[in-house]
Amino acid sequence: MTNVAIIGTEKSGRTSLAANLGKKGTSSDITMYNNAKESRKMVFVDSHGYPKALKSLITVLNISDMAVLCVPPDGLDRNNPASVHTGECIVALDLLGFKHGIIALTKSDSTHMYAIDELIKKIKLMTAGTSLQDWECISLNTNKSAKDPFEGVEDLKAKISEISEKIEAEQAELNSLPTRVFIDHAFNVTGKGCVVLGVVKQGISKDKDKTKIFPMDRDIEIRSIQSHDVDIESAPTGTRVGMRLKNVQAKDIERGFIISDKEIISTDYVLECTISRFTRAIETSSVLHLFVGLQSEPVRVEKILVDGKEVKEAKPGSTCVMELLGNKKVAYSKEDRFLLANLDIPQRFAGYGFTK
Ligand code: GDP
Ligand code: MG
């Protein structure tokens, strides 16, 4: 199953596009749209809580295999204050090393051919050398009263389908790894108990599995699994699932909790970091926002080391080792990529890192 993130700046046409691709389901700061009727099952996730909240963007990206970046006609216009967020989305995708995606040039009915060509040139310049450099640009609209209504939407669907074939092959390779399920929603259902929604990030999750939930580090059992509202016995990598859990209450589960046999739990981190070229220097004692999986929290920069020597600041475009201190327990695995953000500046993403 392919999970598709629909991202972009405010008013970039994200919700209109997502609503065109699937039927609305669960909604919080992110909204799921399912295409349950089609043979190739997909979930499209609208990150509508962004740009106000970075968490909405990162959550959507970390539960997805592919992204559709929506860029409206004025999406890179210097005079448009919202354009900083188009750039911010590109920085986020690049820092995450996000492989698969498409750039949707939205609202094609409200612009001109030559303007679209100019926009594509700008995008190509901005994304050169990033993980988005080979992403295809597709011009489209979702306006039924346009001269050319829904122009480009079928092209987009075809391209998504083409990419999802590659994604399914990649997911199949992850089935042999230890099972990890990222939880994005948890609630109590009368008569059913604790229900969580999330995505199988690796391995195969099975009905009646005895496993654990982190960072609680508590033994649980999977009572049942559903996908697209149908009961299933096992959920391979990539499946968006609903699960009933035994021995845990929904009120104790937060977004980002992980169902897995083993995770690292920590409140402080030593990360090998790469600082973005598009941020400010990061100083010791400053506060950054840390994201890993679907978890996030503020952390204090305790120490910065370059070539083993302590320094006062980490410069944009450089690499360093950063010691960070947080408050709450966070669960992760050695291969997980951490993202760092500075919430005080317009383009908020600051860098990424892995634990040493
Ligand atoms: P979001 O904030 O990114 O979710 O953007 P929306 O999907 O809510 O769209 C923002 C505004 O643009 C709304 O008023 C939409 O009706 C309008 N809009 C979205 N897509 C199109 C389109 O393809 N053509 C035109 N003309 N307007 C659009
Ligand atoms: Mg919206």
Joined tokens for residue 20: 């065109």
pLDDT at 39 over 90: no
Give the residue whose CA is nearest to atom 19 of ligand 1.
Answer: 13
Give the residue whose CA is nearest to atom 21 of ligand 1.
Answer: 107
pLDDT at 179 over 90: yes
pLDDT at 271 over 90: yes
Cβ atoms 100, 65 nearer than 8 A: yes
Summarize pLDDT for 50-100 with one digit per residue, the tens.
999 999 999 999 999 999 999 999 999 999 999 999 999 999 999 999 999
> Mind listing the domains of the chain with CATH numbers?
1-172 (3.40.50.300), 178-258 (2.40.30.10), 263-353 (2.40.30.10)
Q: What residues does the ion ligand 2 have nearby, CB within 5 Å? A: 15, 48
Mean pLDDT of the 270-275 span: 98
Q: Name, in order, each residue with C-beta under 8 angstroms of 236's C-beta and a sequence gap of 6 or more.
A: 171, 172, 175, 200, 204
Query: How far is 104 from 127, CA to CA, in rounded Å?
Result: 14
- For 85, the enclosing helix (H) or strand (E) is helix 83-95
| Ligand 1 pocket mutation, candidates 107, 109, 145, criterion most atoms within 8 A of CB | 107
Q: How sure is the predictor about 37, in pLDDT bands with cuts at 50, 70 and 90?
A: confident
User: Could you tell me the pTM of the whole model?
Assistant: 0.98
Residues whose beta carbon lies within 6 Å of some atom of ligand 1: 8, 10-16, 48, 106-107, 109-110, 141-143
- For 156, the enclosing helix (H) or strand (E) is helix 153-174
SS3 category, 210: strand
The residue whose two tokens read 């973005």 is 276
Give the residue whose CA is nearest to atom 27 of ligand 1.
Answer: 107
- Give Cα 348 distance to the centre of its chain: 16
Nearest atom of ligand 1 to the alpha carbon of 18: 7
- Give Cα 53 distance to the centre of its chain: 13
